[in-house]
Amino acid sequence: MEDFKIIELYLKRNETALLETQNKYSKYLSSISYNILRSRQDAEECVSDTYKKAWDTIPPQNPQNLATYLGKIARNLSISRLFYNNAQKRDKRTELLFSEVEEMLPSSDGDITDEIALKELLNIFLARLEKTERVIFVRRYYYASSIKEIADSYGLNKNSVKVTLFRLRQKLKEYLQSEGVSI
């Protein structure tokens, strides 16, 4: 079923929307959650919570891109679950991923205007990258794919992915600083 028809079902409060969403997006959402959580059970719970949150937020929301909307919900729920699961213990994989991101982005003071501006700058930065670089960056920092998964997907060795990510982080940091963002 086309996304606009699924969204119409949500807007009409027709529960078939949930079934159609599950049929079309379960693998996509499971992949996002599992990449972040590395637990099938936790990923399944986050995907179920994603369907519930979509039901609760459409309407009033009327997403232009259903896949992106659902993916963002699944990602945010999975990250929240990850923090909850690791509140008392240290997870090296999570620490590494967030330390990589932390070094290239400014600290947030909760100002929504700054967050919107940063989002716009990130979109501009990503649009200027070559397709392979953009995909590697998004796979690592949005979908939380491991370096091995990225390397395997694109026929690269792990070291070249690491070097590419390092260079992209440096480019992003330099770009943000050139735009007046203090890191």
pLDDT at residue 176, rounded to an integer: 85
pLDDT at residue 113, rounded to an integer: 58
Q: Which CATH architecture is the domain 93-178 placed in?
A: Orthogonal Bundle (1.10)
**What mean pLDDT comes out for the span 113-140?**
86
Helix residue ranges per DSSP H, 12-91: 16-37, 40-57, 66-85
What is the pTM for the complete model shown? 0.67
Least confident of 83-97, 109-123, 166-180: 83-97
Torsion of Cα atoms, 165 then 72 then 103 then 92, to 10°: -80
Question: 180 or 81: whose pLDDT is higher?
Answer: 81
Q: pLDDT digits over 1-51, tens only?
A: 999 999 999 999 999 999 999 999 999 999 999 988 889 999 999 999 999
Q: pLDDT digits over 161-179, tens only?
A: 999 999 999 999 888 888 8
Domain ranges of the chain: 3-85, 93-178
**What mean pLDDT comes out for the span 104-116?**
59
* The token pair that represents 82 in the structure block: 């990850």
pLDDT at residue 178, rounded to an integer: 87
Long-range contacts of 64-71 (CB under 8 A, 24+ apart): 65/3, 66/3, 66/6, 66/7, 66/21, 66/25, 67/3, 67/25, 67/28, 70/21, 70/25, 70/28, 70/29, 71/28, 71/29, 71/32
pLDDT at residue 89, rounded to an integer: 59
What CATH number belongs to 3-85?
A: 1.10.1740.10
User: Are residues 86 and 73 in contact, defined by beta-carbon separation less than 8 angstroms?
Assistant: no
